[in-house]
Amino acid sequence: MNGTPRANRLHIAIFGRRNAGKSSLINALTNQDIAVVSDVPGTTTDPVYKAMELLPLGAVVFIDTAGIDDEGELGALRVQRSIDVLNKADMVLLVMDSGTGISEYEMDLVRRCREKKLPLLVVLNKADAHPVPPSFLEEVTTRFATDPVLVSAKTRQGIGELKIAIVRNAPSQWDDQTLVGDLVREGDTVVLVVPVDLAAPKGRLILPQVQTIRDILDHDAMAYVVKERELKASISTLNKKPDLVITDSQAFLKADADTPSDVPLTSFSILFARNKGDLATLVAGAKAIDELKPGDKVLLAEACSHHRMEDDIGKVKIPRWLRQSVGGDLDFQWCSGPRFPENIEEFKLIVHCGACTINRREMLSRIMRAQEAGVPIVNYGVCIAHVHGILQRALSPFPELQEVLKDN
């Protein structure tokens, strides 16, 4: 709880050919030997993440990747894992050895960055080994439409200038999404319904609840935290009705019954669906729940790899509610962690978690992949509210979504 979650950090991916000095650069930027450095090509196999503070940007994550020119069957797999990092990157550092010139590998990466509208910085490394001709600088500037930064990861030459360039080129609105800041005003009262989650370590709340409390406090509103059986009593003790009630999705029915009908009600999961992805798309995906038939394939996707407890929300509860809604059994499959399945066309529906452990770019990438495959995707909280028949109530803080609900 004392550190910024990785999902809330600016993700800066470092790409380049083998032995361009990517690992050395990440060590120089972090001032730590976090990445293994070797003269042997292909030392870095899987992406390496290093969290740090880079003022004035604040919390960032540098991602070291395998060489984009790796060879062989295993090399192709490593390259693909590197390319997958673009789905979660907020900006890219393309590291080049100026002595090797521009190749098809750099141009392909630049093309991919342009398609994803990713800010790109070109870093010419090994400036200590050989001078960079002005003609090459001009070629890089022309072909990549950006001024390169000259550095030496070995001697730390130019590292300060590179940090400044990162600050100047970082996306200006990379993490300006608020959880509840636009839903509350100074002095508002927000009641949070927090069942004690068995998956949370003793003495702690789960991440979405902690982040929501912090966002409420950041916007000078007041947060009241209660368990589901205390909601009705807590509302009765307030000198005015709360301005907003936010519940764990698993307690939706209880919260709906105990919250006055004129008080907006939603869930942590729905707030994160809006914060990390595209809530309108996820709400539209709820229509597919009514079209499911027994035997259909449904993917339940979670961004983290937590230990599943008895009556787990993704493994037990949501499948049970969906079976009840469909009136028969469904073919459920599960995925968890950072790897999202490649072949999703076979599914009739994807039900995704709140995405509190991944960043917005990665969640949007997953939604886009579902759209390209023609597979409806819905969020845990939206799904639960829909099967319980209270989706309209759960979206009451978001009047702009009423048209989407009408279409459903």
Q: Provide the CA 217 distance to its chain's centre, in angstroms.
A: 23
| Token pair for 278 | 């595209």
- Find all residues with CB under 8 Å of 25, minimum gap 6, and list them: 14, 93, 95, 123, 125, 151, 153
Token digits for 289? Answer: 């729940």
Mean pLDDT of the chain: 88
Spell out the residues 6+ positions from residue 400 whose beta carbon is closer than 8 angstroms to its own: none
Instruction: List, for residues 318-333, the tens digit of each pLDDT value.
Output: 999 999 999 999 999 9
233-242: buried (b, 16+ CB within 10 Å) or exposed (e) per residue?
Answer: ebbeeeeeeb
The beta strands (E) that lie in 65-201 are given as 91-97, 120-125, 149-150, 189-193
Q: How much is the pLDDT for 360?
A: 83
Q: Is the predicted pLDDT of residue 44 greater than 60, yes or no?
A: no
CB 346 within 8 A of CB 297: yes
pLDDT-derived band at 279 (thresholds 50, 70, 90) equals very high
All residues at 6 or more sequence positions from 237 whose CB lies less than 8 Å from its CB, including other chains: none
The model carries a pTM of 0.74
pLDDT of residue 151: 93
Res 315 pLDDT > 80? yes
Tell me the C-alpha distance between 236 and 232, whole Å.
6
